[in-house]
Structures are given as C-alpha cells and as structure tokens.
Amino acid sequence: MNAGTPRGQGYRMPPEWHAREATWMAWPKESDVWSGGIAEVEAAFLKMIEVLSADEVVHLLVDDAAARRRASGLLRDSDADASKVLFHEVVTRDVWVRDYGPNFLIGTEKARPAKAWNHWRFNAWGNKYPELLPDGEVNAHLAKALPETCFKPGVVLEGGSIDVDGEGLCLTTEQCLLHPNRNGGWTKEQWEECLRDYLGVAGVLWLKGGIAGDDTDGHVDDVARFAGPGLVVAAVEDDPEDDNHLVLTENRLRLGAAKDGVGRELDMITVPMPEPLFDVDRRLPASYLNFYIAPKAVLVPVFGCRQDVKALSTLGSVFRGRKMVGIDARVLVRGMGAVHCVTHEEPSVSAESPTAGKGKG
C-alpha cells in the first residue's frame, strides 16, 4: 500500500447513498448535441434541482454572468429552493460532470482533514470528442470550492465507469477500463491496484460491458448499480434479438456468482431495459440504471415507453423510504447520457445513511 495514496492516508470513496452534503451539476447550453431542444434540457435540469434542493445544496456550474442570470431566473420561477443553489462561474464544454467532476473521498479516524478528492484525468471518452477535452481542467478552476486535500492519480477514469458498495467492492466493466483508448490498455492487475489505492476498496467486480449505443465504451452506470450493502440492481434484456441481450446476460451471470465486499452472495434485483430509442439511425444509450440516489428520492430516467412503470415500481421496492421521481430523459439521451451522468454527489463526513436500498425482504 502506497502511503501517498488515499488508502494510505485513510480515505475511501463512499457509496452514493452515504449522507450527503451537496450535488454538483453543470448548467446546459445551446449546442448541436441537443438538436435545438435546449428548453427541454433545461426543464429536465430544473426538475432535478427542485427535488435535490429540498434536502441538500446544489453546486451549479455556469459559464458566465449571462448563464447565471438565465439559470437564476428559471429557478426563481420553479419550485426549487433557490437559496440552496450555489453558482460557480466556470466554463464547461458539456454537462457530463459525473465523468470529469471531483471524485470525493471521506476519511477514517486517521485522515486529516476528513474529506478529500481525486482529480482523475479526463480524455473525452478515449479522445472521441477533442472539443470536450478542456472539461478535464474544470476541477482545477474549482479548487477553492473543493477540499484542500487532492490526489492526482495521473490516470484516465470517468465517474460513470465505477460504482462502490461502501464495504470494499468496486463494480466496473472490462469493456471500459481495459480499453486501450484510456490508459494504453492497462491490465486488470494494474487497475485493481490503482482502485484499491485511490478508492480505498478491497476488490473489484468485473462485468463484461455496457449497452448498445454507449459512446463511453461501456460505463457501468447503465448496466448495474449498487443499491445498498450486498444489494445490486442489474439491467436485463429478454429479447434474444436485441443487441443488449448477450452482454446483459453475461453481466447478470457474473453478478450471480459474485460475493460482496464482506464475502456474502449479492442480492440481485433485475430492471428491464426500455424499448430501443434511436436518433435517425443511431441507437441511443437509454437505461433505467442511470438513476441518481438523492437523500429522500431517487431520480430515475424515463423514456415514454411501457417499461417505465415497471422500472419505477421495481426501483421503488428497492429504495423503500425514498420517492421515485421520473425524469423525462429522452432529450438527455440524445446527448448520449442521462440523469446519473449530469449529477455528482459530495458526501458529508457524518455516518452513512440508514435508508439505502433494502432488497426484497
């Protein structure tokens, strides 16, 4: 164990249901990504902020004073608690703060101060979008608003590619982390050492890959998510003719054979995939698993199809005590992401929330 790493200094990445201090988001702007639908994108962001601001601070990145005025005006006319929205004038190229934002860590007794963060490298999902590369420097511009203790692994890693259970296990996919367009094709052994050192986990659960249409090369937050200690929700596609059927079946088999961070078999609950969505001839990466766990709610992407009701009901049975809030993500997914992709949690240093997912029982 390297003493200069988060693990060596007593830090770890907590799970998403850990007690929360804030959520970070980046306000959307007109671009070709949204195909003229910026008003719909703003409406989706306003609905998310309304829910989040009821129980926590929302840090909102805006490009400049004009963007701040527009966002402020829309927030005042919404049901959001505008007093809990803190603006940061920092230029961003896009809204996917999950992937380029700060990866927060909390400390054990020996860690001082009690909160830190990782500044991973961001290369726009394998250099697919050179115009978005400057988002890799957003955190440096936010330094005064972030914890003083910062670790720089020098490694490309996006927040949507990992998930942790809070008890020592990290969930990811081979398709993404082993792809040569990130770190020259790191091995599993290299990644496992890195994730142990910088996330404070004990082990890594490797799934096969992500869903069709996903330009991130298989982010895990579209296929499987931890919902509580020993509890995982997994996407399934029953249609054998669908492009997602084989990979999601393989993922589910691996989850069924896995143990959690303390050696228990995982309790797995399945969630159906939505009907396929297309933008002209391009399949879009639509998945209900791209949800975001808020203190008293779960923001769930919905897609205007028959599976929406079942997905909301299933997740409601998992996250009992939290309200399921459907966010129309059809416009978001045209930009190749959804709810989890545009949010990033900042944990508090208090004890973990007792209202994580509870499973079937």
* Other CB atoms within 10 Å distance of the CB of residue 325: 21
Q: What whole-number distance in Å separates Cα of residue 25 and Cα of residue 66?
A: 17
Quickly state the pLDDT bin for 359 (edges 50, 70, 90).
low
Structure tokens at 2: 């390297």
Q: Residue 291 falls within a domain, yes or no?
A: yes
212 within some domain: yes
Copy the structure tokens of residue 13: 């990445």
pLDDT digits (tens, 9 = 90+) for 146-194: 999 999 999 999 999 999 999 999 999 999 999 999 999 899 999 999 9
pLDDT at 335: 94
pLDDT at 357: 72
Structure letter (DSSP) for residue 101:
S
Instruction: Count other C-beta atoms under 10 Å from residue 162's C-beta.
Output: 23
Quote the pLDDT of residue 34. 83
Tokens matching residue 355? 């209202």
Secondary element (H or E) of residue 147: none
Q: What is the per-residue pLDDT for 185?
A: 85
Note whether residue 312 is domain-resident. Answer: yes
115-118/224-228 β-pairing: unpaired
280-292: pLDDT as tens digits: 889 999 999 999 9
Peptide bond into 113 cis (omega under 30): yes
Tokens for 44, please give them.
């989706």
| Residue 266 belongs to a domain | yes
Q: What's the domain range around 48? A: 11-347
- Tens of pLDDT, residues 313-342: 999 999 999 999 999 999 999 999 999 999
CB 269 within 8 Å of CB 193 = no
As for how many domains the chain has, the answer is: 1
Q: Where does the chain have alpha helices with state H?
A: 38-53, 65-76, 97-100, 124-127, 138-141, 174-177, 180-183, 188-199, 245-257, 307-318, 330-334
> What is the pLDDT at residue 244?
98
Q: What confidence score (pLDDT) does residue 361 get? A: 36
The pair of structure tokens assigned to 261 is: 């961070």
Beta bridge partners of residue 226, listed in sequence order: 232
Our answer to whether residue 194 is catalytic in this structure is no
pLDDT in the model for residue 358: 61
The pLDDT score that the predictor gives to residue 260 is 83
In-domain check, residue 259: yes
| pLDDT, tens digit, 9 for 90 and up, residues 69-93 | 999 999 999 999 999 999 999 999 9
The share of the chain scoring above pLDDT 90, in percent, equals 88
pLDDT for the residue numbered 261: 74
Q: What is the pLDDT confidence band of residue 360, given thresholds at 50, 70 and 90? A: very low
Query: Is residue 358 included in any domain, yes or no?
Result: no
Q: How many CB atoms lie within 10 A of CB 84?
A: 16
The tokens of 324 are what? Answer: 């399921």
Question: Buried b / exposed e across 50-63, counting CB within 10 Å, b at 16+?
Answer: bbbbeebbbbbbbe
The residue with tokens 């860690």 is 111
Please give the Cα distance from 57 to 226 (Å, whole number). 24
Within 10 Å of residue 276's Cβ, how many Cβ atoms? Answer: 17
Query: For 164, phi and psi rounded to 5 degrees?
Result: -125, 155
Amino acid 346 reads E
Tell me the angle at which helices 65-76 and 38-53 cross, rounded to the nearest 10 degrees.
70
Question: Are β-strands 169-173 and 203-207 bridged in parallel, bridged antiparallel, or unpaired?
Answer: parallel
**Dihedral angle at the C-alpha atoms of 25, 268, 358, 330, nearest 10 degrees?**
30
CATH number (domain holding residue 147): 3.75.10.10
Flag whether the pTM goes above 0.75: yes
CA distances from 296 to 78, 142, 289 (A): 19, 27, 18
Judged by DSSP in three states, 66 sits in helix
Residue 151 belongs to a domain:
yes
Determine the pLDDT at residue 242.
98
What is the C-alpha separation between 361 and 359, in angstroms, rounded?
6
pLDDT given for residue 351 in this prediction: 64
Report yes or no on 17 lying in a domain: yes
